[in-house]
Amino acid sequence: MNAYRAKPLTYPWPPVLYVVAMLAAVALGRLVPISVAHSHGWLSWLAGAALILVAVSLDIWALKTLIERHTAVLPHRRSSHLVTCGPFRLTRNPIYLGYTIMMVGLGLITLNPWFFILASLAVALTTAFAIRKEELHLLSRFGFEFERYCRATSRWI
């Protein structure tokens, strides 16, 4: 049996990676602050809160879709079905996109630029170390059907 067919990851790294990135952004914001203009703090707070609401809604929608299709929710589990409906019509990684949007929202609320920097780093690391393995897993499990899905739907947005 193909190694990627069994399961994509040995540990659910992406959620851990994003939590570490958020904690690092908070720590760096205190240790190495980057000054930001505070002219309309309520506007950035409102935009950040709206983004966090979008991110949480996207994550819940994606989780609900995966559960309804009776397939793996955690990234280190074997997928039993290729899910291409719900938020997966818009992006192949709606949960990770939700995590990223949440970091941007937190950056706007706290006016901490480290959230933007570390969100970019989290996207790069998640793509390199998790998404590519997940895609190999899905390709080995679903073949042409997954290739067709990849051509029709972007990885992030």
157 located within any domain: no
- What is the predicted pLDDT for the residue at 39? 62
4 located within any domain: no
51 located within any domain: yes
Q: Which domain holds residue 87?
A: 18-29+40-72+81-152
Q: CA-CA distance, 79 to 73, in Å (whole number)?
A: 8
12 located within any domain: no
Domain count, the chain: 1
Segment 133-144 shows an average pLDDT of 90
125 located within any domain: yes
pLDDT tens readout for residues 62-115: 999 999 998 877 766 777 889 999 999 999 999 999 999 999 999 999 999 999
Nearby residues of 25 by Cβ (< 8 Å), 6 or more positions away: 103, 106, 107, 112, 114, 115, 117, 118
Q: Answer yes or no: are the C-beta atoms of 101 and 58 closer than 8 Å.
A: yes
124 located within any domain: yes
Q: CA-CA distance, 45 to 28, in Å (whole number)?
A: 20
5 located within any domain: no
pLDDT > 70 in the chain, percent: 89
2 located within any domain: no
Sign, CA torsion 98/73/60/110? negative
